[in-house]
A = this chain, B = another copy of it.
Amino acid sequence: MLTQVRIVGSGLIGTSIALGLCAHGIRCQMVDSDPAAERLANDLTGREKTASPELVIFALPSHAIPQVIEAEFALNPNSTFMDVGSVKNEPLLYVKASSLPLERFVPTHPMAGREIGGAAAARGDLFATRSWVITPDASCSKESIALVNELIELLGASVIKLPADEHDRAVAAISHLPQITASLLAQSLNSTPSNWLELAGTGLRDTTRIAASDPGLWSEIIYSNRAEIAPLARKMHEALGELIAELDDKSAIAQFIDRAGIGRARIPGKHGGKARAYAYLPIVIDDKPGQLAAIFNECKSISVNVEDLTIEHSPGQLSALIMLALSSADAQLLSDHLSAIGWNVHPILN
């Protein structure tokens, strides 16, 4: 059972883990090669000391693990160790080359993060509802895996077990290639006149959002997983070349867009696991305090649960369009109810 955890590295992930564990009464000590970062993280997390931590977490870039591994193992010879890096073959190689026995090391990768880093951006709820991959070697002990599972579940995440090789191939496809694609598109905007950019819709914003990520962190990730990324990037390069060659052929373009729709439909929904089909209820409201409260009061009065909500409005306008995501039954119930009492409700979108 976890009572004490030592966290080596006080960036976003390490500090978020500490914040989440502190809330469960687990004592966490944060250490960092940068004294200022260590002080900040300890201030945020209660400045605890651990004498004999059950678990030591390498919460630093994978390439920095060799710099701390021997000292940490000497200091904590009976602890289980885990890391949290985005690529999983690399730390395994470092551990194999060290004194730390492989049966007490669990490579892990929490599928959570933010576009901004550092202890100040940390949140104890960063991992809530997310997947957290573990890629233990065949020689890894049951006790070590159990400790790591306990930590992940305490933080509100779900454990997914995969071989390290498979993890690295998976994240190349679902995370690293999307990062490269978004970055390619975003850098094409460097020479776009700014009045053109003012015409941009949500499409451009959504496709480039992750391009704002940290270059230091992402160059490490892409570099370290380049063996898995390269074939995917080459395949994409080839597909783009083919499209360019076929721009005079309307049916080839249609097939290109069509194949993309099939790929897109394979991604599970926002809430993990299977995609959930929501109905969407558009309501035009006055853009002033109290309107949303009034709508949510109506939802409550008829026991309708709102799954998600978006708001569209411009600063200069007096009305806003809100879109509630609901189950189909709730959408119909709410639409009838709000219409009857005079709200500006638009037809449900399925």
Write the residues of chain A forming the contact surface with B, with a CB cutoff of 8 angstroms. 111-113, 121, 123-125, 128-131, 133, 156, 160, 166, 169-171, 173-175, 177-190, 192-216, 218-220, 222-223, 226, 229-230, 232-237, 239-241, 243-244, 247-248, 250-251, 253-268, 270-273, 276, 282, 284, 287-290, 292-293, 295-297, 299-300, 303-315, 317, 319, 321, 346-347, 349
Contact = CB atoms under 8 A, between A and B. Distances in A.
Given A185-B263, A296-B296, 11 more contacts: A112-B201, A123-B282, A125-B321, A128-B312, A198-B272, A200-B268, A205-B267, A209-B264, A215-B255, A219-B253, A289-B304
Given A182-B260, A243-B233, A260-B211, A268 B197 contact: yes
Most chain B CB within a 10 A radius of its CB, from A128, A255, A299: A128
A310 to B, nearest CB: 7
B284 A128 contact: yes
Given A181-B184, A196-B170, A243-B233, A219 B254 contact: yes
Contacts of A178: 185, 203-204, 207-208
A93 B112 CA distance: 51
Contacts of A250: 219-220, 223
B244 A183 contact: no
A256 B187 contact: yes
Copies assembled? 2
Contacts of A129: 312-314, 317, 321
Contacts of A131: 198-199
A229 B173 CA distance: 26
A247 B222 CA distance: 8
A123 B349 CA distance: 10
Contacts of A241: 237
A344 to B, nearest CB: 9
B201 A349 contact: no
Nearest to A120: B347
A254 B216 contact: yes
Contacts of A303: 289
Contacts of A304: 289
Contacts of A182: 181, 203, 207, 260
Nearest to A212: B264
Nearest to A317: B129
A159 to B, nearest CB: 12
Nearest to A305: B289
Given A125-B321, A206-B210, A111 B181 contact: no
B128 A208 contact: no
Given A197-B268, A216-B254, A207 B188 contact: no
B121 A349 contact: yes
Smallest CB-CB A-B distances: 4 pairs? A293-B296, A183-B260, A219-B254, A189-B263
Contact of A311 (B200, B243, B307): B307
